[in-house]
Amino acid sequence: MADEALIVIDVQNDFCPGGALAVAEGDEVVPVVNGLIRRFEHVVLTQDWHPAGHSSFASSHPGKAPFETVDMPYGEQTLWPDHCVQGTRGADFHPGLDWTRAELVIRKGFRSTIDSYSAFFENDRETPTGLAGYLRERGISRVTLAGLATDFCVAYSALDARRQGFAASVVLEGCRAIDLGGSLAAMTARMKDAGVELL
């Protein structure tokens, strides 16, 4: 349908087994996402794209370990292992991802002092990536999301899609979660409350 877009979130080597921030079974989303890509007229990809020394990396905070949190000017931030560093193999899309038909690649997390889970807004919830305007200008009113990770970048993107007035569905079979301290259940509940359709 001309007014629908598939948004494929962060299907990158570092989120797949063997990667720096591997999501369990992350690579299993690839065939599912490829099937979705074939069915959609409009396809957008996101790519987590951090400069070395990014403020979301635990290695940038002496004494801190991955998966601990720190207070940033914009709120609490979970710290991660170094991942998806610009230009590295870990930041590349999974080699099996058939992304030829993608019309747009949104890169996010490229400002060193702020992280970005959502495809729409950085973690201050107000710095836009430009995606909402792009979709609106192209007459797209419904988005379907899949990719990695369910409870971080997929969920935040789906919530922001609703906040921006788009209908939003998440294809759970095409997602895998990090599930940190109950984050999968918490973010699933938030998506349901926001009117995100979980398929």
The binding site for ligand VGL (CB under 6 A) comprises 10, 15, 48, 80, 117, 148-149, 152-153
Q: Which of Zn ion, ligand VGL, none is residue 156 near (CB under 5 to 8 Å by kind)?
A: none
Q: Which of Zn ion, ligand VGL, none is residue 10 near (CB under 5 to 8 Å by kind)?
A: ligand VGL
81-140 positions binding Zn ion, by CB under 5 A: 109
Nearer to Zn ion, 97 or 140 (CB): 97
Give catalytic residues, as residue numbers: 10, 108, 153
Q: Which of Zn ion, ligand VGL, none is residue 121 near (CB under 5 to 8 Å by kind)?
A: none
The yes or no reply on residue 27 touching Zn ion (CB under 5 A) is no
Nearer to ligand VGL, 69 or 141 (CB): 69
Q: Apex CA 13: angle with CA 11 and CA 19, to 5°? A: 130
The yes or no reply on residue 48 touching Zn ion (CB under 5 A) is yes
By the criterion CB under 5 A, which residues form the site for Zn ion? 48, 109
